[in-house]
């Protein structure tokens, strides 16, 4: 999946789950200051990403990376990283 | 006028603390009765006792607090349900015995767990930290066990108290839970709690608390694709519609 496809799917989640307007969902948008999300929303966001992209956020292992997410583009990078890790996993 | 209100609010708080003291004194006896005579598990006994405590405080607060509750027949007599209520005041939990089943666990934000003593007590009662719980992990583990035992789940899906009185955006945890276990969602509309204890000054005032328990909404009534999201939107609309009528 390309970064563009990931960005589109993340945008769709943000619109559906948090009723945000599409035009403000630019890659550099800050999740907390500009989009107005909070800690409870981040819990919902993780669940929605897990379901949409079929990966599992692993406690301890991914916690730091999740906390470091500030902007939409950080989410895209996180998903790409997860996908690379999944591709590297033995089937 | 403000000083008088402050004084009366303080008197009421002292009265509540006095009643709480009485209840704490009786607590070991109630717990003993439930756990030994009725064979309740400890967490079930604590939840049941907390509910009795809520009833006791509210009943003893009459006529300052008057309750008008309708739709109690919509609460399940057996088995689990997900109960979702709008959130306008800290005191909403105080009135929860009127809109929950006798064995209901509560999803709470992190901060009450950090209060010394209360946090320990809430963990013993099996209350859940909605900010720290991994919902998928919970649904597969502890949640499944609670569901098997017929425990209901209370959520305030807005997450925070509404400062404007308007319904805020709902979070998904309640609806993911209902879909996972295929159990009904019971929407609850609360009004008057924001008068009883306002967000502005946290002082107590006389209030009529109107609790409307709406008929259950079943997850199976929605198409499988994004079922939890559709269920969430539907329940949100039901509560919004009802609150706008008042």
The answer to whether residue B6 scores a pLDDT higher than 70 is: yes
Chain A residues whose beta carbon lies within 8 Å of the beta carbon of residue B134: 57, 59
CA distance A22 to chain B (A): 17
The answer to whether residue B230 scores a pLDDT higher than 70 is: yes
CA distance A56 to chain B (A): 9
Chain A residues whose beta carbon lies within 8 Å of the beta carbon of residue B137: 59
Q: What is the pLDDT of residues B44-75, one digit of tens each?
A: 999 999 899 999 999 999 988 999 999 999 99
Average pLDDT value for residue range B191-196:
90
Average pLDDT value for residue range B161-175:
87
Residue B160's closest chain A neighbor by CA?
Answer: A40
Let me know if residue B48 belongs to a domain: no
Measured CA to CA, the distance from residue B246 to residue B243 in angstroms comes to 6
Domain that holds residue A39: 3-88
Q: Which of B213, B177, B211 is nearest to B82 (CA)?
A: B177
Q: For residues A67 and A73, is the Cβ–Cβ distance under 8 A?
A: no
Average pLDDT value for residue range B147-156:
94
CB–CB contact A16 B229 (8 Å) = yes
Measured CA to CA, the distance from residue B125 to residue B127 in angstroms comes to 6
- Burial of residue A72 (CB within 10 Å: 0-12, 13-18, 19+) is buried
Give me the pLDDT at residue B2, please.
Answer: 80
The answer to whether residue B245 scores a pLDDT higher than 60 is: no
Interface residues from chain A to B (CB-CB < 8 Å): 16-19, 38-41, 43-44, 47-48, 50, 56-57, 59
Give me the pLDDT at residue A89, please.
Answer: 66
Number of domains into which chain A is organized = 1
> B202 touching A, CB under 8 A?
no
- How far lies A24's CA from each of A15, A21, A27, A29, in Å? 10, 6, 9, 7
- How far lies B173's CA from each of A21, B43, B92, B231, in Å? 23, 22, 19, 12
Residue B229's closest chain A neighbor by CA?
Answer: A17
Give me the pLDDT at residue B178, please.
Answer: 95
Q: For residues B206 and B64, is the Cβ–Cβ distance under 8 A?
A: yes
The answer to whether residue B108 scores a pLDDT higher than 60 is: yes
CB–CB contact A43 B131 (8 Å) = yes
CATH of the domain at B93: 3.40.1130.10
Helix (H, G, I), strand (E, B) or coil at B66: strand
Q: What is the pLDDT of residues A20-63, one digit of tens each?
A: 998 999 999 999 888 988 888 888 898 899 889 988 887 777 87
Omega before residue A82 within 30° of 0, cis? no
Beta-carbon count within 10 A of B46 CB? 21
Query: pLDDT-based confidence at B85, cuts 50/70/90?
Result: very high
Q: Compute the count of residue pairs across chains A and B with CB atoms less than 8 Å apart.
A: 36
Number of domains into which chain B is organized = 1
Q: Of residues B220 and B198, which shows the higher confidence score?
A: B220
CATH of the domain at A22: 1.10.1200.10
Three state DSSP letters for A3-38: HHHHHHHHHHHHHHHHCCCHHHCCCCCECCCCCCCC
The answer to whether residue A91 scores a pLDDT higher than 60 is: no
CA distance A21 to chain B (A): 14
Q: For residues B207 and B65, is the Cβ–Cβ distance under 8 A?
A: yes
> B176 touching A, CB under 8 A?
yes
Give me the pLDDT at residue B147, please.
Answer: 92
Query: pLDDT-based confidence at A2, cuts 50/70/90?
Result: confident
Query: pLDDT-based confidence at B126, cuts 50/70/90?
Result: confident
> B57 touching A, CB under 8 A?
no
Query: pLDDT-based confidence at B117, cuts 50/70/90?
Result: confident
Residue A36's closest chain B neighbor by CA?
Answer: B169
Query: pLDDT-based confidence at A90, cuts 50/70/90?
Result: low
φ, ψ for residue B216 (rounded to 5)? -65, 150
The tokens describing B82, both together, are 């997900």
Kindly give, in sequence order, each residue whose CB lies less than 8 Å from that of residue A10, ignoring residues fewer than 6 positions away.
Answer: A49, A72, A75, A76, A79
| ipTM given for this complex | 0.77
Let me know if residue B144 belongs to a domain: yes
Q: Which residues of A are catalytic?
A: 38
Average pLDDT, chain B: 90
Residue A17's closest chain B neighbor by CA?
Answer: B229
Domain that holds residue B178: 65-244
């Amino acid at each position: 999946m390309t970064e563009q496809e990931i960005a589109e799917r993340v945008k769709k989640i943000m619109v559906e789950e948090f009723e945000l307007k599409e035009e403000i969902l630019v890659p550099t948008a800050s999740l907390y200051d500009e989009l107005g999300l909070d800690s409870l929303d981040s819990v919902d966001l993780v669940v929605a990403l897990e379901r949409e992209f079929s990966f599992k956020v692993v406690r301890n292992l991914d916690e730091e990376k999740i906390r470091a997410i500030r902007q939409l583009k950080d989410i895209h990078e996180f998903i790409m990283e997860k996908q690379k890790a999944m591709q590297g996993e033995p089937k | 006028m403000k000083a008088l209100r402050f004084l009366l609010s303080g008197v009421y708080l002292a009265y509540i603390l006095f009643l709480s003291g009485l209840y704490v004194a009786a607590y070991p006896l109630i717990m003993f009765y439930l756990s030994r005579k009725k064979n309740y598990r400890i967490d079930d006994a604590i939840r049941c006792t907390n509910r009795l405590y809520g009833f006791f405080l509210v009943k003893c607060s009459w006529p300052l607090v008057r309750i008008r509750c309708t739709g109690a027949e919509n609460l399940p007599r057996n088995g689990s349900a997900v109960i979702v209520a709008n959130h306008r005041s800290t005191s909403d939990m105080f009135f929860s015995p009127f809109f929950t089943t006798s064995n209901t666990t509560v999803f709470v934000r992190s901060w009450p767990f950090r209060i010394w003593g209360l946090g320990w007590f809430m963990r013993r009662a099996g209350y859940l930290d909605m900010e720290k719980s991994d919902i998928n992990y919970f649904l597969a583990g502890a949640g499944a066990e609670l569901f098997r035992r017929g425990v209901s789940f209370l959520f305030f899906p807005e997450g925070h108290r509404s400062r404007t009185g308007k319904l805020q955006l709902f979070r998904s945890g309640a609806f993911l839970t209902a879909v996972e276990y295929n159990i009904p969602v019971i929407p609850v509309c609360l009004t008057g709690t924001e008068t009883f204890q306002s967000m502005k000054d946290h002082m107590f005032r006389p209030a009529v608390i109107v609790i409307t328990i709406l008929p259950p909404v079943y997850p199976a009534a929605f198409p499988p694709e994004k079922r939890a999201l559709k269920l969430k939107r539907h329940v949100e609309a039901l509560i919004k519609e009802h609150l706008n009528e008042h």
